Amino acid sequence: MLKEHKTFVIWGSFLLLTLAWGSSFILVKRALQGGFAPFEIASMRMIAAMAVLGIPAAISIPKIPREKLPIIAISGLISMLIPAFLFCTAQVHINSSVASILNALTPAFTFIVGIMVFQQPIKGMQILGLLIGFIGSTMLILVNSKGEFTLNHYALLILVATFLYGTNVNLVKNKLAGIKSGHISAVAVSASGISALIYLLCSGNIPHIYQNGLEHPWAFGAMILLGAMGTAFATVVFNYMLTMTTSVFASAITYFIPIVGIMWGVLDGEVLVFWHYLGMLFIVGGVIILNRFR
């Protein structure tokens, strides 16, 4: 009975995470359609997440070695705040479906950073997986929604974001070992939220956010839901799931996030051509090979 309950919790968490992270791209799109600027969306996302995890962060700080706190703050910046800015900026010019597909490159960059910085050994099949994955990303970067071959510079911003995600995974693994993941997540989210709040206060954008929120409450709600669900809630659920299963199983979420992202995009009228679907298959196939032979 206990085993069945654990299995239910694991698969339930997996489904919730897939829906939460897969829906993040359409929520960014909705906020953009409501007239919010990319940096406003990214900032409000992190502030909303901090509002959810602020108290757990305050409880966690005394339990973390003082010398590790700056590393956790950096982790929050490169895994949450900066990627949020990059994704929101990119989605002004590319659709949410393509953004969700490119996000699947995170495991590939995790592996590359591990090799380059932390001397992780590499196998021939892993090189093949990387090549296949990046061939797929090239298809997405070079093909627009009309099926025309043209360089989409903004898709490169998402590649930078996935590189930062991969860097953070290695940073946490090698520099924050022994610290509970829940403590890391709460403090990292709050550090990013504080940085985002400082940015908004200095930028003078708060009056615009307030006024635009009154005029487009659905877009403001999308930003809040993005932070509360796509960042705070998802982080807590993911860390809890990790305590009950393996990192390999957890990483499989990467394969399903694009499916949810594409479903939302298609329902919203976005157009994907043959090359986009082929690129997704290449990316997912490359990531599967990487995980299989690591």
**pLDDT number for residue 36:** 95
The percent helix, strand, coil of the chain (3-state, each to 5) is 85, 0, 15
Average confidence (pLDDT) per 10 residues, the chain, 294 residues: 70 87 93 94 96 94 93 92 94 87 80 76 77 81 69 84 87 83 90 95 92 94 94 83 66 77 87 82 80 66
**pLDDT number for residue 1:** 57
Evaluate whether 81 touches 195 at the Cβ level (below 8 Å): yes
Pairwise CA distance, residues 88 & 277, whole Å: 22
Q: In 174-275, at which residue ranges do the beta strands (DSSP E only) sit?
A: none
Alpha carbon of 199 to those of 42, 47, 192, 242: distances in Å? 11, 11, 11, 33
**pLDDT number for residue 145:** 62
**What predicted TM-score, i.e. pTM, was given to this entire model?**
0.85
Evaluate whether 220 touches 212 at the Cβ level (below 8 Å): yes
Evaluate whether 32 touches 91 at the Cβ level (below 8 Å): yes
Neighbours of 34 (CB within 10 A): 19
**pLDDT number for residue 294:** 59
